[in-house]
């Protein structure tokens, strides 16, 4: 349940960020978009609900460990722990955002999108304040985590809203002219902030693959590969695709990209509720190794081992298959074959995963 709620929390942020940003874009520079007001209101209301789930679980665990009532533990969490303090501010901010989106007098005001976007930005900052990086590294962690999630919300939010709520394909070239550079900038910020976050939370990146956290982090990173391939195709291959195929529908391809993005958000949701392995050897004293790792790893496992790469034929074959699938995805875009392209994108990540896992010894 906690993983589902975390993933849905990220989706809510993406929908709100994308919708509000697109409201600020002139109509002649985007397709006609109609996001139901009820959906935006539901996202605003859902944010404090979904973000409360880990607090609820924490209260249950602490209450059992310290033999205290749920109410007493909850009060302590909300007043003394960063996660609890952030949730209080999140609840207040979400209530204000819900008023902006729900009351007609505010909803129809021309300045509403700007104010609502600012409140959403504050909610993202408070989410960063509640994260692992902020609790460990203070202001540096807060800025890095918030920047990472803000960039993801902008990129995937616009992508998701346009792909699922655009009523037509009007002004598509004009839309791509501004969205492509925005997406590139967001990707760069996402990658840079993500790398910095990894130095905070997972300094032993390869060794962390022994743990569930490390496995999920690896899967998330591999899913970014097909996401970037779709983003490249949708951003730079559109003109040629339209020229070669009169029936080409860019929204279908954006939807495929958004589905990959949802998988990335799902993986991020799982990571958000697991303990980062700062020192893998110590973490293995309290956390069991990943079943995925122990199933695939051929060596003799012990908490003291250090993983290193040793390229063998089977791993090289997996990498070759991943490259073949990546090239196939780009080719399928040119020939306007969506389902094979989507499957090849997933297989790019799958073969890449096995290539890396077969290469460690």
Burial 313-328 (b: 16+ CB within 10 A, else e): eebeebbebbeebbeb
Looking up tokens 């607090």 gives 55
d(CA 229, CA 245): 20
Q: Quick check: helix, strand or coil at residue 309?
A: strand
Q: How confident is the model at residue 19 (pLDDT cuts 50, 70, 90)?
A: very high
Q: How confident is the model at residue 254 (pLDDT cuts 50, 70, 90)?
A: very high
d(CA 277, CA 212): 10
d(CA 340, CA 221): 22
What are 172's two structure tokens? 């598509």
**In the predicted model, is pLDDT for residue 230 greater than 90?**
yes
Phi, psi of 204 (to 5 degrees): -100, 75
d(CA 52, CA 127): 12
**In the predicted model, is pLDDT for residue 278 greater than 90?**
no
Give pLDDT tens digits for 283-338: 888 888 888 998 888 877 777 788 888 888 999 999 999 999 999 999 999 999 99
DSSP string for 300-329? ---TT----B---HHHHHHHHHHHHHHHHH
CA distances from 180 to 77, 108, 119 (A): 42, 29, 25
Q: Are 13 and 124 in contact (CB under 8 A)?
A: yes
**In the predicted model, is pLDDT for residue 107 greater than 80?**
no
**In the predicted model, is pLDDT for residue 1 greater than 70?**
no
CA distances from 64 to 46, 57, 252 (A): 28, 11, 49
Average pLDDT over residues 178-204: 91
d(CA 245, CA 223): 28
Q: Quick check: helix, strand or coil at residue 33?
A: strand
Q: How confident is the model at residue 200 (pLDDT cuts 50, 70, 90)?
A: confident
Greatest alpha-carbon span in the chain: 69
Average pLDDT over residues 195-210: 89
The pLDDT value recorded for residue 186 is: 94
Question: 121 versus 235: which is more confidently predicted?
Answer: 121
Question: 169 versus 186: which is more confidently predicted?
Answer: 186
Give pLDDT tens digits for 20-67: 999 999 999 999 999 999 999 999 999 999 999 989 888 888 878 777
Question: 204 versus 104: which is more confidently predicted?
Answer: 204
């Amino acid at each position: 349940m906690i993983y589902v709620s975390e993933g849905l929390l990220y989706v809510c942020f993406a929908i709100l960020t994308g919708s509000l940003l697109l409201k600020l874009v002139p109509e002649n520079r985007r397709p006609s978009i109609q996001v139901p007001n009820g959906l935006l209101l539901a996202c605003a209301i859902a944010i404090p609900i979904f973000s409360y789930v880990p607090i609820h679980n924490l209260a249950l665990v602490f209450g059992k460990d310290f033999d205290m009532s749920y109410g007493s533990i909850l009060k302590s969490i909300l007043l003394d722990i960063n996660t609890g303090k952030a949730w209080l501010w999140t609840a207040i901010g979400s209530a204000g955002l819900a008023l902006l989106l729900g009351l007609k007098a505010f909803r129809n005001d021309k300045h509403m999108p700007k104010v609502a976007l600012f409140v959403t930005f504050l909610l993202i900052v408070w989410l960063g304040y509640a994260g692992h990086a902020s609790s460990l590294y203070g202001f540096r962690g807060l800025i890095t985590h918030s920047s990472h999630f803000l960039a993801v919300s902008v990129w995937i939010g616009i992508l998701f809203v346009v792909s699922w709520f655009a009523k037509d394909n009007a002004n598509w070239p004009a839309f791509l002219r501004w969205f492509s550079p925005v997406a590139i900038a967001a990707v760069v910020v996402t990658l840079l902030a993500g790398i910095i976050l990894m130095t905070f939370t997972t300094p032993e990146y390869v060794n962390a693959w022994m743990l569930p956290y490390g496995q999920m982090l690896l899967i998330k990173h591999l899913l970014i590969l097909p996401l970037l391939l779709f983003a490249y195709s949708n951003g730079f291959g559109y003109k040629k695709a339209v020229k070669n195929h009169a029936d080409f529908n860019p929204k279908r391809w954006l939807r495929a990209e958004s589905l990959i993005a949802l998988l990335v958000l799902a993986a991020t949701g799982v990571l958000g509720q697991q303990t980062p392995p700062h020192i893998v050897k110590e973490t293995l004293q309290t956390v069991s190794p990943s079943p995925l790792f122990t199933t695939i790893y051929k060596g003799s496992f012990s908490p003291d081992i250090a993983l290193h790469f040793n390229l063998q034929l089977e791993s090289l074959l997996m990498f070759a298959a991943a490259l073949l699938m990546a090239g196939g995805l780009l080719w399928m875009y040119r020939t306007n074959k969506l389902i094979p392209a989507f499957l090849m994108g997933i297989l790019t990540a799958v073969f890449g995963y096995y290539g890396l896992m077969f290469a460690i010894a």
